[in-house]
Structures are given as C-alpha cells and as structure tokens.
Amino acid sequence: MSDLNTHPFFDDVSRRFCGILSDQVGDGICYVDKDLRILSWNRAAELLTGFSEAEMSGKSWSDDVRLHLGPENDGKDGPDCPVERAVREKTILTIDAFLPHKDGYRIPIYLRILPVSGEDERLLGAAVVFSSATPLIMIPPSPALLEHSGFLDAEIGIPNRNFLETILKKRLEEYKKFGIPFGLLYVDVDLFGQFKEKHGNFNAGKILRIIARNIQKNIRYLDVMGLWNADEFLVLLHNIEENRLDIVSNKLRLMVAESYLITETATLNATVSIGACLVLRYDTAESLVNRAHKLMMHSKWRGRNKVSLNFVQKDTF
C-alpha cells in the first residue's frame, strides 16, 4: 500500500486499521480519492485480477478499470459509473459486475463502494471492495485427469470434442429418463480466419484462450463447455429454461465482446456468434448440435455478434 503514508485521503483514517484490513481480508480492496484516482490495491485484488498494485496505482477507476455491469445494461457503465455515483452522492452502493482480468477475460464480482469522509464531513474518496462471484465448487474433472483420459485440448486447456460428445450423450440419457432439460450453445468466433491472417497464429491462440476463459468463468459449476472445432465451442447448460437460456447466451456474448488482448502494438478483441436451443423430446446428439449450428449461422447472417434462439428475418431498415 505505497500511498498510505503520503496521500491526504488517509489523514483522518487509521493507517494501522487500513493496513490490517487490506492485508488480511480475502476481498479485493482499493481506495480511491474523490477524483477516483486509485491510491492502493491490496494483495487480494492482485490475485483476483492479475494486476499488481504498481500497475493500478494512480490510474482512474472510471477511465481505466473498464467495469462491466452486465447484459441488462448493454455491457456499459453509461455516463455514470457506480463508483463515481457513490462518491458524488456519498452513498453506499452494492452491485453485481464484471472486472477485467489481466489475461483478457472478465470475472464476475460482488462490488461494494463505501464513501469515506473525515471528521469534518469533508469527502475524502471511497473504499471499493470486491469479491469473486465465480462458483467455488468445481465438479468438472481437472485438466490433468482430462489429459490422462484423452479428453483435453492441450493448446487451449479445455475439454475437447471427445469429452463433449460423452457428456452430451449422458445429458440426453438423463433427459429421456428423468426429464431434466438442458440447453446447448454453439459458439463460433467471428471472422477468425481474418483475425489469424492479420494478427498471426500466436495472437489467434491467445484470443481463443481468452474466449474460453470468459465462458468458463461465467457459467455454473454443473454446466460444461469445451472446444468442438478449431474456433468453435459448445456449452451445455444444465436444467435451464428458454428465458434463462437467452440471458446466459447474451451474457457470454457480451463478456467476449468486452474483453481485450493487449499486445505491444495494439489492443485486440473478437466477437462470437451463438446459436442457442433447448433439447427436444425427439433429439439425438446429432440433431441437437445441427439445430444449434444452424441457429449460429443465422446469427452470422444477422450481422455477427448475435444470439439466435429461433429463426427471425434480418431487419432491412
């Protein structure tokens, strides 16, 4: 906490208390002054985001953090970011949001903003506290076990097509025997060939890993995702209904679109087109995947970076 002893933000705050709080708790904590400049960034914040205190200190929360508020806000803060609003209105705010990780993907978090004032009621800034909202229980097998079983795509580090075919067969058996519904997402990277040609195989591999991590971090522990083809992913969503399928699909789409690969020369990103459908009584693995694939192609026809749950005509105006 390099600025604790020098910045006036801490004139009326116990330095000892702030040091103990920041160093011992498991939540990410950063302090910002009234202009939203980041003054400190604790160890838990480093572990959650991959960014060190040296990298974050002095940056503007509203300009540099790129906080994402989720699909209901169309992936944007709007003109009024929550930290700025909490400081301006001197009110405590608690929201669900997504923070960028240094590796390019986004992590779901619980965010609490607590304005801090001195004894004279003069506003000093705020404490921003955030904790991971990623499920803590992980049922899918470890990469080591997947690799041992021949179910791992070693380049991206996620389950491969063989694993997906096995799980898909089991989900269909569960559905027909117990009536447990599930959804399937067919996720294709838009213009991936052009991306690879322009930015090279190395960066293309990195962007695939970023997309994979975005999906992994933003689905439930009972859901399964993996690589289906070279630049295509399948996601099996357990026990889900159509309205929730729409929400989850668009959340994943936005997470990808709002994530970035930072290189020495440019900031790169990619989008995905998604076909989403629910299992039907007469489905086989082949018919279900084919239906999701057709819906994905429909998303591309509609202009890419879209989710299709059914076939609707493209707007012509």
CA 211 from centre of chain: 9
For the chain, the distance separating the N- and C-terminal CA atoms, rounded to the nearest angstrom, is: 55
* Measured distance CA(21)–CA(6) in Å, rounded: 18
Structure-token pair, residue 26: 């498991």
| Helix-helix angle 285-301:161-178, to 10 degrees | 110
pTM over 0.75: no
- pLDDT for 200 equals 94
Asked if 183 and 237 touch (Cβ cutoff 8 Å), the reply is yes
123 torsion bin: left (phi>0), alpha (psi -120 to 50), beta (else): beta
- pLDDT for 203 equals 95
DSSP state of 315: P
Task: Check whether 96 has a pLDDT greater than 70.
Answer: yes
pLDDT grade, residue 20 (50/70/90)? low
Task: Check whether 131 has a pLDDT greater than 50.
Answer: yes
Q: Can you list the domains of the chain with their CATH numbers?
A: 8-132 (3.30.450.20), 143-308 (3.30.70.270)
Q: Which of 110-119, 182-191, 284-293, 299-308 has the lowest mean pLDDT?
A: 110-119
Specify the 3-state DSSP secondary structure of 299: helix
CA 244 from centre of chain: 17
Higher confidence at residue 50 or residue 274?
A: 274
- State percent of the chain over pLDDT 70: 81
The mean pLDDT of 101-123, rounded to a whole number, is 84
Q: Which of 116-120, 158-162, 201-205, 295-299 has the lowest mean pLDDT?
A: 116-120
